[in-house]
């Protein structure tokens, strides 16, 4: 099939993410999306299994979000947030604070997950500086973790795919150890804190699911243990819920189901129902209080140009309406059952190491995937959009996906993996 003109003339000028451009499998040209479908320029349609990096929680083009963005567009697409403020941002901040656990109370908006993490790290570091405590400027992070691609976010991520190593000379040094999930790792965690707690500003963790690091799950007790240790050593706990937030694990936030309140939480991805770039770093009152001062140097020195973009805030408010009006968490639990049942046959396929499901996340872990591109192509040929990475095939569909589409996705995975 011939590619459209815009593709042929524009593609030689584009630089794709995480891609060796010399050997790249040319990306598919998309002309439109709707619901859980991706429409290709050549007329084919794919059922989307990953909701655009798990952002489009209500499916694509939801009419309620479109209407909200469209009215906001007529009124005010953007205005700077320095010295000015607006209703969509303040409403959103108030609503987020109401729905977040505990006394997470102050919202700082930015425009991507990585930047939300940078802001969280800066908040935690400056918290100590403002309190006149020096030398607490490093963080404890966990193997398997991923917090983004900017410099500080990379420095608290597991050195996955060699990214960390490549930039070794550039990255600030932090500590990355195993999550305290069994006797051995708990002992190592305790020992580490005994020796190093005095150097730490805080601990950063992806609660319940480490996403991009391999869709690795851990139990609520692991988070409770980390929270208790942070309290014991007076460390700030940052929960990065950029992946897990907004129903993905079956509760609104993963911290809810573990019954813990982090000191700082980062949100993005499904915050706008996957329609626009927006992120939030939300801090507890005690963090904010450390910045409340007559000294201008105690202010938080961060301010992205497009922070709190009114269109994105309108989309996020509309997305929260949908969580209020429609049974998203129940849908996530239905998806969970569908994933369990649909992916179960994978357990009998040679080369499958593990099949696991948490909330609306389904994972098939293989011993290895020899040819990722070939596997990706076979999913497209089967009419589904599934993007395996490393040795993982996973589904994170829209929470609104129909049983029929979900069955098609899981059946495609079983079929494709069965035929070598
Ligand atoms: C847990 C987590 N933190 C941070 C990020 C980075 O977000 P962004 O890609 O918007 O910078 C991601 C992205 O996948 C993520 O899953």
Domain finish residue from 325, 353, 384: 325
Q: Is 376 in the pocket of ligand 1 (CB under 6 A)?
A: no
User: What are the pLDDT tens digits along the chain (420 aa)?
Assistant: 678 999 999 999 999 998 999 998 899 999 999 999 999 999 999 999 999 999 999 999 999 999 999 999 999 999 999 999 999 999 999 999 999 999 999 999 999 999 999 999 999 999 999 999 999 999 999 999 999 999 999 999 997 665 677 888 888 899 999 999 999 999 999 999 999 999 999 999 999 999 999 999 999 999 999 999 999 999 999 999 999 999 999 999 999 999 999 999 999 999 999 999 999 999 999 999 999 999 999 999 999 999 999 999 999 999 999 999 999 999 999 999 999 999 999 999 999 999 999 999 999 999 999 999 999 999 999 999 999 999 999 999 999 999 999 999 999 999 999 987
127 part of the active site = no
- The answer on 273 and 125 residing in a single domain is yes
- The answer on 35 and 130 residing in a single domain is no
Residue 51 counted as domain residue: no
Give the active site residue among 60, 127, 146, 394: 146
Token output for 175: 């500590």
240 part of the active site = yes
Residues found in the chain: 420
**CB-neighbour burial class of residue 132 (10 A; exposed 0-12, middle 13-18, buried 19+):** exposed
Q: Are 54 and 387 in contact (CB under 8 A)?
A: no
pLDDT of residue 124: 98
- The answer on 135 and 165 residing in a single domain is yes
How many domains is the chain built from? 3
Taking the C-alpha atoms of residue 46 and residue 37, their distance in angstroms, rounded to an integer, is 6
Q: What is the DSSP string of 165-180?
A: HHTTTTSPP-EEE--S
- Specify the 3-state DSSP secondary structure of 406: helix
Collect all residues with Cβ–Cβ distance below 8 Å to 309 and sequence separation of at least 6: 77, 78, 111, 276, 277, 278
Residue 225 counted as domain residue: yes
Beta bridge partners of 48: 385
- The answer on 331 and 313 residing in a single domain is no
Token output for 384: 């589904």
Radius of gyration for the alpha carbons in the chain, expressed in angstroms and rounded: 22
Residue 57 counted as domain residue: no
Q: Which of 261, 267, 266, 307 is nearest to 286 (CA)?
A: 261
Handedness of CA 143, 145, 148, 152 (dihedral sign): negative
Taking the C-alpha atoms of residue 216 and residue 112, their distance in angstroms, rounded to an integer, is 23
pLDDT of residue 1: 64
Kindly give the number of the ligand 1 atom that is closest to the alpha carbon of 269.
10
> Starting from the edge strand earliest in sequence, which strands make up the sheet with 264-267, in order?
104-110, 279-284, 264-267, 236-240, 200-205, 138-142, 175-177
Mutual orientation of helices 87-99 and 310-325 as an angle, nearest 10°? Answer: 40
Residue 366 domain boundaries: 327-420
Residue 54 counted as domain residue: no
Q: Is 109 in the pocket of ligand 1 (CB under 6 A)?
A: no
Ligand 1 pocket, mutate which of 216, 268, 274, 312 (most atoms under 8 A from CB) = 268
- The answer on 348 and 231 residing in a single domain is no
- The answer on 320 and 233 residing in a single domain is yes
- The answer on 314 and 342 residing in a single domain is no
Nearest CA owner, ligand 1 atom 4: 147
pLDDT of residue 162: 59
Taking the C-alpha atoms of residue 52 and residue 386, their distance in angstroms, rounded to an integer, is 10
Kindly give the number of the ligand 1 atom that is closest to the alpha carbon of 268.
10
- Specify the 3-state DSSP secondary structure of 97: helix
């Amino acid at each position: 099939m011939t590619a459209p003109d815009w593709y042929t003339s524009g593609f030689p000028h584009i630089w794709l993410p995480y891609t060796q451009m010399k050997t790249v499998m040319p990306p598919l040209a998309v002309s439109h999306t709707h619901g859980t479908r991706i429409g290709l320029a050549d007329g084919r349609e794919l059922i989307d299994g990953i909701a655009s990096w798990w952002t489009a929680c209500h499916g694509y083009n939801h009419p309620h979000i479109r209407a909200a963005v469209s009215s906001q567009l007529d009124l005010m697409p953007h205005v700077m947030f320095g010295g000015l403020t607006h209703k969509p941002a303040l409403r959103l901040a108030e609503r987020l604070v109401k729905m977040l656990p505990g006394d997470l109370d102050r919202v700082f908006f930015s425009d991507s997950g990585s930047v939300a993490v940078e802001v969280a790290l800066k908040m935690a570091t400056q918290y100590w500086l403002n309190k006149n405590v020096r030398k607490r400027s490093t963080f404890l992070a966990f193997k398997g973790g991923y917090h983004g691609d900017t410099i500080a976010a990379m420095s608290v991520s597991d050195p996955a795919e060699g990214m960390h190593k490549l930039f070794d000379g550039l990255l600030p040094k932090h500590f990355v150890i195993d999550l305290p999930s069994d006797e051995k790792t708990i002992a190592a965690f305790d020992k580490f804190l005994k020796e190093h707690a005095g150097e730490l500003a805080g601990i950063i963790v992806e609660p319940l699911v480490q996403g991009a690091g391999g869709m690795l799950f851990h139990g609520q007790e692991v988070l409770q243990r980390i929270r208790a240790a942070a309290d014991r050593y007076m460390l700030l706990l940052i929960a990065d819920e950029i992946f897990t937030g907004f129903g993905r694990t079956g509760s609104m936030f993963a911290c809810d189901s573990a019954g813990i309140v982090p000191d700082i939480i980062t949100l993005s991805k499904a915050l706008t129902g996957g329609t626009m770039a927006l992120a939030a770093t939300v801090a507890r009152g005690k963090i904010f209080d450390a910045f409340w001062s007559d000294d201008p140097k105690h202010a938080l020195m961060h301010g992205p140009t497009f922070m709190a973009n009114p269109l994105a805030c309108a989309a996020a408010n509309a997305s929260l309406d949908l969580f209020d009006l429609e049974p998203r968490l129940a849908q996530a639990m239905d998806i969970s059952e569908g994933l369990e049942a649909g992916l179960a046959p994978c357990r009998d396929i040679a080369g499958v190491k593990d099949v696991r499901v948490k909330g609306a996340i389904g994972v098939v872990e293989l011993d290895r995937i020899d040819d990722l591109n070939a596997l990706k192509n076979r999913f497209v040929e089967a009419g589904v959009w599934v993007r395996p990475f490393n040795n993982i095939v996973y589904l994170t569909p829209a929470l609104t996906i129909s049983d029929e589409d979900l069955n098609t996705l899981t059946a495609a995975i079983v079929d494709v993996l069965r035929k070598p």
